[in-house]
Structure 1
Amino acid sequence: MRLTNPRRRRGPSRRTWAGPGVSRALGLAFGFAADRVLGDPQRFHPVAGFGQAAARLERPLYADSRASGAAYTTLLVGATAAAGLLAERATRRHPVLHTAVTAAATWTVLGARSLEREAEAMAGLLEEKDIPAARDRLSHLCARDASALEADELARATVESVAENTSDACVAPLLWGGALGVPGLLAYRAVNTLDAMVGYRSPKYVNFGWASARLDDVVNLVPARVCAALTGVAAGQARESVRVWRRDAGKHPSPNAGPVEAAYAGALGLTLGGTNSYGTYAENRGTLGDGPTPTVADVRRTATLARRVGVAAAVLAAVVGVCNGRGRGWG
């Protein structure tokens, strides 16, 4: 005669379902929804606070050497990851709190809605033929020298920036959140922010920013390719997107922006790339795609595609979160 307790036999499966993976997935979904509805926090943005702290720390640590830049990057990313790990461990036995903390972190690090708003603002200015205002506005999207750019070049810069930043501001943080939870979300945003601050090939940062730029390349290797794949699916042009991605991505100097921009070029039927000026230096980004170069009308098309890619990435990240938390009960 077997003496078993049916209630105990059912217990593990119930705990598994309600484990940290589910609360992580819910937090990612709620955070993504908050970004879609609210955009970036308007006051006391934690990412802006991190940027200010990084700028203050740069002053005493700066030296024209890779070693100094590596120490700077390690300190800032390490501290951010440690804070995320403490938050994760403090809440992972409390499902509602864990969901709330994950949602808050997700909302904080995502920039998809703000990116879309910038694209819409650029589209409006270009449609109104307000080129001086559009040149000024481009600085919200990228660091290119826009002083001599006309409407179609401004449109190209916007399309390329939206494509690249869809990976950086949406797909990558969601995937790292699904894989590692709050530490993944916060550490990824720290890496990406430092790359935006010091990861340039300018004389000042070519050495000091080297570690930040290389670390950003590493953490984006997988997300960028996932973003490229989702782009073709979201556009209903998977075959063409993959074809252009495989053929042209290597022409781009960035190992991660190349696949994403090439996938967007194939999905939208455009040709992207060319020589871009960044003030103190110029960069040839190759030619990606087979169609016409972007015009003003393509800016809104790109924003719509980026929104669809973001939704697909949120679903994928939630699935990753559930799978990573499977078997980890709250007990």
Structure 2
Amino acid sequence: MSFAGAMAVAMAVDALIGWPDWLFARVGHPVTWLGRLITAVDTGWNRTSASPAQRRAAGIAAATLVIALAASLAWAVQIVLPAGWTRIVLIGILAWPLVALRSLHDHVAAVADPLASGDVTGARAAVSRIVGRDAATLDDAGIARATIESLAENASDGIVAPAFWGALFGLPGIVGYKAINTLDSMIGHRTARHEAFGWASARIDDLANLIPARLTGLLFVLLASQRAQAWSCMLRDASRHRSPNAGWPEAAMAGGLGVRLSGPRIYHSSVAKEPWLNEAARDPVAADIRRGLKLYRRAMMLLAAIFAILALV
């Protein structure tokens, strides 16, 4: 399980320094590189004049190309690395940009601080950077719900899932997963343009997150102050979520904090009637965002410790 040790290194480096702004300004970020490739295939292969079947076939080919190319390049790098602990450390450093541990924490904290001080305008501006819903329509409770939901879901998609696949397959595993997740975020939408072309990307992402989402929920349950409530809420409400995966960490977080999440929200001026998670509980407030961050930090520390132990064993 040497790759598990590499993921522990990646998480530790990211927790300490994140992805510095000066570095992003100079070289960008691996996800932005993937984004350029995905934009190119979307522009060139997703032809509006084609039939839905043709566009779905093109989307399957596009997803296959992006994932295979990203994973193959990562594999080519990995096989030339030296053996032993040097290899583990180097893989961890190369994987570091692909776990968004610190970035997620900082973006969520940026919502909690103005919301706690009564600066609703500042809180709306901050939450608009991490959610897709119309932030201008959110009240205090809506801002807190959106932030905690984003924290729970992105803990799975942004940290646990890439680290999980990296622990199994090393650099090709984590890079391949990020290609999958970026494809889904860019073209895996049920819109007129991407309903057919992005179908494969969305389905592959669902499969790639099947185990990590449930693992994230379990981590939240184990470390929640209201463990029994987190467990029962996750088992009861996870399947009610529109996503086959996001409901697991979100329901565990809702039960663990004793608040209700999800529910109706506005996307692009349309009301999406989402079901509630932990419906009988109270609405969250700014203090619950901070409690959620505390649970998140503890869960990620436990995950990193598990990886380190597996590496040593």
TM-score, with structure 2 as normaliser? 0.90
Q: How does 1:55-74 map to 2 (within 5 A)?
A: 55-63=39-47, 65-74=55-64
Uncovered stretches (5+) of structure 2, i.e. residues with no partner: 49-54
Q: Root-mean-square deviation (CA), in Å?
A: 1.9
Q: In structure 1, what is the Cα distance between the partners aligned to 2:164 and 2:310?
A: 8
Tell me: CA distance 1:71–1:230, structure 2 relative to 1, closer, same or farther (3 Å): same
Q: 1:227 aligns with which of 198, 209, 216?
A: 216
Correspondence for 1:299: 289
Residues 8, 308 of structure 2: 8 Å contact kept = yes
1:87 aligns with 2:77: yes
Q: In structure 2, what is the Cα distance between the partners aligned to 1:99 and 1:234?
A: 28
Q: In structure 2, what is the Cα distance between the partners aligned to 1:259 and 1:280?
A: 27
Count of aligned positions: 301
Correspondence for 2:51: none
Correspondence for 2:17: 38
Q: In structure 1, what is the Cα distance between the partners aligned to 2:250 and 2:204?
A: 20
Correspondence for 2:52: none
Q: Kindly indicate whether structure 1 or structure 2 has the higher relative contact order, using CA contacts under 8 Å at least 6 residues apart.
A: 1
Q: In structure 2, what is the Cα distance between the partners aligned to 1:41 and 1:71?
A: 35
**Rg (Cα) greater in structure:** 1
Residues 174, 313 of structure 1: 8 Å contact kept = no
Deviation at 1:70, TM superposition (A): 1.5
Q: Deviations over 1:48-99 (max 9, x none)?
A: 22212322332112235222222211111111111122222222x5224422
1:26 aligns with 2:16: no
Q: In structure 2, what is the Cα distance between the partners aligned to 1:46 and 1:301?
A: 31
Counterpart AA for 1:238: R
Residues 4, 168 of structure 2: 8 Å contact kept = no
Correspondence for 2:37: 53
Correspondence for 2:135: 146
Correspondence for 1:258: 247
Residues 226, 258 of structure 2: 8 Å contact kept = no
Q: In structure 2, what is the Cα distance between the partners aligned to 1:282 and 1:214?
A: 25
Counterpart AA for 1:84: A
Tell me: CA distance 1:224–1:54, structure 2 relative to 1, closer, same or farther (3 Å): same
Deviation at 1:320, TM superposition (A): 5.1
Q: How does 1:217-296 map to 2 (within 5 A)?
A: 217-279=206-268, 281-289=270-278, 290-296=280-286
SS in 2 for 1:285: coil
Counterpart AA for 1:284: K
Q: In structure 2, what is the Cα distance between the partners aligned to 1:105 and 1:282?
A: 42
Correspondence for 2:307: 317
Tell me: CA distance 1:316–1:96, structure 2 relative to 1, closer, same or farther (3 Å): closer
Counterpart AA for 1:72: A
Uncovered stretches (5+) of structure 1, i.e. residues with no partner: 1-20, 324-331
SS in 1 for 2:274: strand
Deviation at 1:300, TM superposition (A): 1.1
Correspondence for 1:326: none
